[in-house]
Structure 1
């Protein structure tokens, strides 16, 4: 049996936990479900892969930032952490969305620079992350600071198979989520402003 990495096991359990309709269950039962999903992730298939390994084959390893965001989302659902408002999420959506726009178009050949290479010798990328961290600090987006700090620590400790800093900071799922959330929230704001004011009775 091929043993799935700790990250793929955790990713499988966290994603499935967030997808299951567990809102009405007591906190203790929800926590039990999470532990059960960690065990389910290790169930071997006839191919020799575990369920977590199968998911990893479809999605590859998620970025450290995405994994941290999933942990925070699960902590919120378990009642250990207070839910974030859209106002608190805006800096995160904007920051990681902009990082994605720096990385992915260039990585796909759009433009003159291959920004993915920055991750192999990340002096410039470290400066970019430092500026983003400062922006998060000014916006009081402490979750974003935590995500960047832990992703950087994971890179220094070489916790992923990749030696590219970008792979710790971003993945397509995080970027799509952030850009999609920005678009949806912008549309909602524009719709609210476009509504005619109701005359006072």
Structure 2
């Protein structure tokens, strides 16, 4: 299952990159063309490897949160319809950014406390479920459901990791989150 998850993550990331780059190339109406071109270029061998394999080695698998946000991005740019509304995206990006602020500085040794170990037990899963309840009552039902899916995927061990943090956030979504939050705020 992990192999399938990694392949899905790379395909999704490359397709999103193709859709994004198509917007700059003046192909906004035909973003699917850019997606297909990027995917085709990615499988061409280059220096005994390919972009596909390089990306797969670089990112491994994305978090469930990244996967959902990228799927929403592609849904919007391929169909023109919002799969994830602005409030849902805002809640998910805020969750990713806050989680990263709690996790990543400590992994760099900036704290004596290691929050990553919380993800090995049930504690972080309970915190994420609690956050999903808060989001539900704050009328962010889709964001709440996504967080429940994160915990379910963790409990089912969809990926090779047995740590809830890896299902919740990854460096890619954490780096992108503040920019997307700012963009969503400016568009409001």
Give the aligned length: 180
Q: TM-score, normalised by structure 2?
A: 0.76
Q: Secondary structure of the equivalent of 1:24?
A: helix
Superposition pairs of residues 166-181 of structure 1, within 5 angstroms: 166-181=165-180
* Residue in 2 that maps onto 1:106: 106
| Residue 23 of structure 1: aligned partner | 28
1:76-119 per-residue CA deviation (whole Å, 9 max, x = no partner) reads: 11226327665554333322222112211222222332011112
Structure with the higher helix share, 1 or 2: 2
Deviations 1:164-196 (A, max 9, x none): 22111101221222233445667x69xxxxxxx
Matched with 2:13 is: 11
Task: Tell me the distance in 2 between the aligned counterparts of 1:185 and 1:17.
Answer: 19
8 Å contact kept, 1:13–1:34? yes
Q: Which moved more, 1:177-186 or 1:153-162?
A: 177-186
**Structure 1, gaps ≥5 residues long:** 190-201
CA distance in 1, matches of 2:18, 2:127: 33
Q: How does 1:42-121 map to 2 (within 5 A)?
A: 42-47=43-48, 49-79=49-79, 81-82=81-82, 86-121=86-121
| CA distance in structure 2 between the partners assigned to 1:85 and 1:156 by the alignment | 27
Contact 1:9 1:41 in 2 (8 A): no
The 8 Å contact of residues 72 and 81 in structure 1, kept in 2 or not, is answered as no
Q: Assess if the C-alpha contact under 8 Å between 1:119 and 1:166 holds in 2.
A: yes
* Deviation of the 1:50 alpha carbon: 3.5
Which aligned runs of 4 or more in structure 1 are off by greater than 6 angstroms?
none
C-alpha distance 102-127 of structure 1, shift in aligned 2 (>3 A): same
Q: Give TM-score scaled by structure 1 length.
A: 0.72
Counterparts of 1:55 and 1:135 in 2: how far apart (Å)? 36
Residues 87, 71 of structure 1: alpha-carbon distance in 2 compared, 3 angstrom cutoff:
closer
CA distance in 1, matches of 2:39, 2:149: 22
Q: 1:140 Cα shift?
A: 2.2
Are residues 93 and 68 of structure 1, via their aligned partners in 2, closer, same or farther at CA, if it must alter by over 3 Å?
A: closer
Distance 1:182 1:31 in 2: 26
Which one has the largest radius of gyration? 1
Q: Is the 8 A contact 2:119 2:164 kept in 1?
A: yes
